Every structure is written in C-alpha cells, then in structure tokens.
Amino acid sequence: MGEVIRFPGHPQPGKDKFLPLWREAAGQVIREERSRQERTLADVAGEAGVSTQYLSEIERGRKEPSSEMLQAVGGALGLGLVDLTERVTRTLRAASRPAGPLALAA
C-alpha cells in the first residue's frame, strides 16, 4: 500500500491551522458586503442574473465561481472585479498570518 499524501491547503490534525480556500474567502467577502448593504440573497442574485441557490452556494464556499460570475455578483454589490479580488486577498493574508504578538508586526 502507498503512503497517504495530504492535499495542500488542508490542515493536518493537531499541526496546521486551517487556511480557507480561495472560493471560501470569496464567498465570505461577498456575504459580508451583501449583509453590510442589508440586501437579500434574492435581491443580489436577481441583479446579478444568477439563481438565489447559486449565490448562496458561492457565499458558503461550495462553488468555484468564474471571473464572469464574480464580476456579475460584485457588480450587483457595487464592487468591481479588482475591488472584490483585493478584498479576498486581504482576507486570505489575514488568515495566513501567525497568531500572537508577531501578527501585529506584519
């Protein structure tokens, strides 16, 4: 039998901290902005031209949205694609920083 090779990005029990996948961070950013604007899934989905179910799956990190989809959803929220991807990048950077006093220096 061969050895088990862990998939990159997934934590090893007791060793690694969990780092979100890009799609999970993107969904988090989209949900936070939609909530900040006090808009419903149906409202944003309708404006973006996607189903409410699909937008919900994006927000929960279950779907890997295309750049066209991100542009449509971001546009419905008043965010350009660059703005959205910059927010996702900041979210991922924050999640990858070490905890504790050293995190403040980063």
Q: Mind listing the pLDDT tens digit for each residue in 73-98?
A: 999 999 999 999 999 999 999 988 77
For the chain, what is the mean pLDDT? 86
- DSSP character at residue 50: S
Q: What is the pLDDT of residues 47-56, one digit of tens each?
A: 999 999 999 9
How far CA 27 is from CA of 42, 60, 76, 78, in Å, comes to 16, 6, 14, 16
Q: What is the CATH number of the domain that holds 61?
A: 1.10.260.40
Is 101 contained in some domain? no
The domain in which residue 63 lies consists of 22-92
Q: Which of 5-9, 16-20, 24-28, 55-59 has the lowest mean pLDDT?
A: 5-9
- Is the pLDDT at 10 greater than 70? The verdict is no
Q: How many domains does the chain have?
A: 1
pTM of the predicted protein model: 0.76
